[in-house]
Amino acid sequence: MSIPIYERAVEAARFINAKAGAKRPQAAVVLGSGLADAVQLAGDVVEVPFDEIPYFVSPTVEGHPGKLMIGSLGGTDVVVMKGRFHFYEGHSMEDVTFPIRAFCVMGIRTLVVTNAAGGISPHLSPGSLMLITDHINLMGDSPLRGPNDDRFGPRFPDLTSVYAPDYIDLAHDVARSTGLSLAEGVYLALGGPAYETPAEVRMLRDMGADAVGMSTVPEVIVARHCGLKILAISCITNVAAGLTHKEINHQQVIEIGRQSGARLSALLQGLMSKLVVSDAQVTS
């Protein structure tokens, strides 16, 4: 008989906490394609390969190193996933979202998720940073499908304000103070791994999508199920298919992500402590 997912999450959380030592992470950050070096942690940084953590799987995609980092970001203890697991790699939704459940058991209540995405709206060009205000799930599956464990959250979680409005406001405040410009938009998730056809992009635009990618939504759904507050940021790495005459390739995605990393790093450095304080004020 398989071990229930809550017990597996407890084991993974204990392992991570043991590695953290005296650190008590208050937030988690997930770094997407090409963004693995966008966060530079301070203090006595701990590095743990994913394959050492109980029940974590290993990413197979270039631009996802597969390491968990524990350290200080903007004066706040955090855990940072350098890379993530994707549904298109053949992992189950349970595996893709398992780290979020472990973070929940650790007591983390703030999640920052980043990704590389294709820009559909004309105001989004390669290198833009877009705060996700809502999403559309066209991945063909839900990470909450199957039996519900009430220790994580309710059977039917509400996703009305899945991307915390106060976190979005704080991100704009920090961006203005550092001279950054942040867009906003709706992120649409597809299963991948093939990039979209021009006809599909036209359909997605008509559905209300501003950007399209192959991740993030499963983690976000599980995070809300577990009661975490979420800020999600897309790095626009390319213009979606058919909107220019250029073909799309993963090397371009990684390179634009790397170029945008410094701006994302500056934003997160100034933002992290404010997110945690905002969350503490709400829950106190």
Quick one: pLDDT at residue 135? 98
**Nearest in space to 181 (alpha carbons), one of 125, 232, 220:** 125
Handedness of CA 110, 115, 120, 125 (dihedral sign): positive
Statement: residue 157 has pLDDT above 90: yes
Instruction: Please tell me the total count of domains within the chain.
Output: 1
Mean pLDDT over residues 159-181, rounded? 95
Quick one: pLDDT at residue 63? 63
Mean pLDDT over residues 195-199, rounded? 92
Q: How many CB atoms lie within 10 A of CB 214?
A: 25
Statement: residue 83 has pLDDT above 60: yes
Q: Report residue 173's pLDDT band, with 50, 70 and 90 as the boundaries.
A: very high
Rg (CA), the chain: 18
CB 202 within 8 A of CB 150: no
Quick one: pLDDT at residue 281? 60
Which CATH number is 72's domain given? Answer: 3.40.50.1580
User: What is d(CA 231, CA 253) in angstroms, rounded to the nearest whole number?
Assistant: 21
Cα angle 13-58-39, degrees, rounded to a multiple of 5: 70
Quick one: pLDDT at residue 40? 87
CB 237 within 8 A of CB 256: yes
Lowest mean pLDDT across 52-56, 113-117, 254-258, 267-271: 254-258
Pairing of strands 183-190, 67-73: unpaired
Mean pLDDT over residues 48-75, rounded? 89
Q: What is the pTM of this model?
A: 0.94
Lowest mean pLDDT across 60-64, 154-158, 168-172: 60-64
Statement: residue 211 has pLDDT above 90: yes
Mean pLDDT over residues 129-155, rounded? 97
Residue 133, SS3? strand
Percentage of the chain with pLDDT > 70?
A: 95
Statement: residue 181 has pLDDT above 70: yes
8-34 tens-digit pLDDT: 999 999 999 999 999 999 999 999 888
Mean pLDDT over residues 89-115, rounded? 96
**Average pLDDT value over all residues in the chain:** 92
- 237: enclosing H helix or E strand: strand 229-239
Q: How large is the angle between the packed helices 93-105 and 217-225, nearest 10 degrees?
A: 40
Q: Which two tokens mark 82?
A: 């350098």
Q: Which two tokens mark 59?
A: 């990413």
Q: Report residue 284's pLDDT band, with 50, 70 and 90 as the boundaries.
A: very low
Statement: residue 252 has pLDDT above 90: no
Distances (CA, A) of 260 to 109, 145, 251, 267: 27, 35, 14, 11
Q: Domain range spanning residue 25?
A: 5-283
Kindly list the catalytic residues: 33, 64, 86, 88-89, 116, 214-215, 238, 250
